Structure 1
């Protein structure tokens, strides 16, 4: 993340926290105490730190999914459906196959990744072939995934006591590791965090160090310019959505086989939509996404503790997050307006930039 973008994200957090403090005072709460317990809730001891990391892990991947799509000129609002379908595939494989843990866990994770990638291929192909807006098609895919899970779980994987949830996965099919949980004093942290970090490194490398990453960004920056340069733009659109979907599918695999070991019907995973906020605060940069997801993880885990300690409603933490997102989005919009104004000013003054000299923004 560039220094300017990093400073803007920090400023958005500061302004959001200040707005939250004012709201606490208006509601009759002490903001110092409120924030004290909010951050203690996420960082007070090893167990809470582990829970924060576990909560942040799916957010890290959905944020990375959205950020990767943004970098390539696409808006992947289909992360909830990709995450849900990827998690469903992982649950289905985990409940169907009876294999040793060393073999079953990679298969379960791979099923989630492939499920998310397949689910994102449809809006990608529609965008490439017929120029269908990926926002519309990916939202439709979200609800198709929702109803598939709504039907599939009670029909084929019904739980022993409730029809609204699947059977529990055996330990052989989960990402839970006793040594890691013990390291964080009983936290529900799991091996998913290592998979998420590996995914961040791979995406950073693809975007910044490979020809493929350059072509994907070039197509998003200027589709017609990329086509003129001989790049396979349509293929890259599909490929970009597949990668974004695979990341969201991995988030689903981790959520449903790591953070929990069942899947409930009638629930669209909020981490999918929250990934948009994570990507926005992280300036659509893989490294920035790591820090923004951890920050959101602290807020998610800490708001319950804040409510228990000083009775501050947990909805206030959601309001703080929304305010932070507002300030982050405002800074991005202002940046675009300023750039456009400068460009028009340069054009009027006779300054031109040859298309061959343009560099794709990193």
Structure 2
């Protein structure tokens, strides 16, 4: 755990260093930019609340990617699973009339099921058709985008706003007046609480439950898992389904807790892809994902302050994220190369 932390810390430092070099090359002051990034968010209750709100889907998609990775799979489909989860949450929130807590709970459950089904489909293609999950999840991402847009246009469209759905019922929202008042009326609601609970569930599932042991065993050694009586095909489908469920809940937190509608999108949500960086930087552990998710939430939300105060374009933050991901990925590639060399010897 300590080693993972220091490796992530080094990758983080190098990523910020690359970002500073790019800013200098572009004629910007990196010290002023990073000061605006951190100071503006951490000294204002409202800005801090908005940063936590920005981190919420990142924590959930980070769990999604990490869970699949611990089972020996690479889930690049969190974005599509998140988008369909948002559509499912909007559908239940708009079409049904239920008491407040029950309505929100069913909407979140529908989002989890939609994401789980989309993830399990990729798992099925991997387990019984031999289609690599990287290929299938990339293709399913775009299928999810166009399918979701089609469903919104056909059943949920607001007649006065042709680019989004109708608003969900108030009984289905995840708004929290208490959290909002604590953070200067920021758009922070129960979605953040759900993300924290999801981290606890993830940690208990992977480290304390027999199901988590089976998933980890399948990821570490499919042959040994099969010898121990763990069906590898079922483990693959289950792992991808669970990963998709967490990503689906990420979509629900955005629809039910922030926007209260589902927009017709031209591209998949960035949070789905940023979850890869969160999982890798966090070492696929619950505490690491929490810290990495908060950091990337800070980067994404604080990018506006960097642009306003230091004049740095928003793309600079994406360069920092990409650099951090690159340095973390180098570590995983190196470990895999060492493992191959040792097995060959």
TM bucket (normalised to shorter chain) is: over 0.9
Q: Say whether residues 1:281 and 2:288 are aligned partners.
A: no
Structure 1 residue 160: deviation in Å? 4.0
Partner Cα separation in structure 2 for residue 26 and residue 127 of structure 1: 44
What is the aligned partner in structure 2 of residue 137 from structure 1? 136
Contact 2:101 2:172 in 1 (8 A): no
Structure 1 residue 93: deviation in Å? 0.4
What is the aligned partner in structure 2 of residue 325 from structure 1? 325
Q: Say whether residues 1:188 and 2:187 are aligned partners.
A: yes
Structure 1 residue 206: deviation in Å? 1.2
TM-score, reference length from structure 1: 0.92
What is the aligned partner in structure 2 of residue 149 from structure 1? 148
Partner Cα separation in structure 1 for residue 263 and residue 185 of structure 2: 24
What is the aligned partner in structure 1 of residue 239 from structure 2? 240
What is the aligned partner in structure 2 of residue 358 from structure 1? none
> 1:100-148 deviations in whole A, cap 9, x for unaligned?
2121111111111111111111111122222221122222221221111
Partner Cα separation in structure 1 for residue 189 and residue 169 of structure 2: 15
Q: How does 1:196-207 map to 2 (within 5 A)?
A: 196-207=195-206
Structure 1 residue 339: deviation in Å? 3.8
Partner Cα separation in structure 2 for residue 343 and residue 247 of structure 1: 35
Partner Cα separation in structure 2 for residue 337 and residue 137 of structure 1: 25
Q: Say whether residues 1:27 and 2:26 are aligned partners.
A: yes
What is the aligned partner in structure 1 of residue 114 from structure 2? 115
SS at match of 2:167: coil
What is the aligned partner in structure 1 of residue 253 from structure 2? 254
Structure 1 residue 342: deviation in Å? 4.5
> 1:76-117 deviations in whole A, cap 9, x for unaligned?
111111111111010000001112212111111111111111
Moved more, 333-342 or 104-113: 333-342
Contact 1:177 1:191 in 2 (8 A): yes
SS at match of 2:181: helix
What is the aligned partner in structure 1 of residue 45 from structure 2? 46
Q: How does 1:1-362 map to 2 (within 5 A)?
A: 2-266=1-265, 267-344=267-344, 347=345
Partner Cα separation in structure 2 for residue 340 and residue 149 of structure 1: 42
Partner Cα separation in structure 2 for residue 17 and residue 274 of structure 1: 16
Partner Cα separation in structure 2 for residue 342 and residue 137 of structure 1: 31
Moved more, 59-68 or 212-221: 212-221
Structure 1 residue 44: deviation in Å? 2.5
Structure 1 residue 343: deviation in Å? 4.8
What is the aligned partner in structure 2 of residue 352 from structure 1? none
> 1:37-64 deviations in whole A, cap 9, x for unaligned?
0112332311111111111110101011
> 1:6-62 deviations in whole A, cap 9, x for unaligned?
101000111111122222222222221111001123323111111111111101010
Gaps of at least 5 residues in structure 1 are: 348-362
> Structure 1 28/274 Cα, relative in aligned 2: closer, same or farther at 3 Å?
same
Partner Cα separation in structure 2 for residue 15 and residue 260 of structure 1: 35
SS at match of 2:317: helix
> 1:221-261 deviations in whole A, cap 9, x for unaligned?
11122112221221111111111010011111111111211
Partner Cα separation in structure 1 for residue 219 and residue 33 of structure 2: 43
Partner Cα separation in structure 2 for residue 208 and residue 120 of structure 1: 22
SS at match of 1:188: coil
Partner Cα separation in structure 2 for residue 192 and residue 236 of structure 1: 29
Contact 1:114 1:246 in 2 (8 A): yes
Gaps of at least 5 residues in structure 2 are: none
Instruction: Report the aligned-residue RMSD.
Output: 1.4
> 1:196-243 deviations in whole A, cap 9, x for unaligned?
111111111111112211111111111122112221221111111111
Contact 1:41 1:304 in 2 (8 A): no
TM-score, reference length from structure 2: 0.96
Structure 1 runs of 4+ with >6 Å offset: none
Partner Cα separation in structure 2 for residue 195 and residue 250 of structure 1: 9
SS at match of 2:230: coil
Partner Cα separation in structure 1 for residue 227 and residue 15 of structure 2: 44
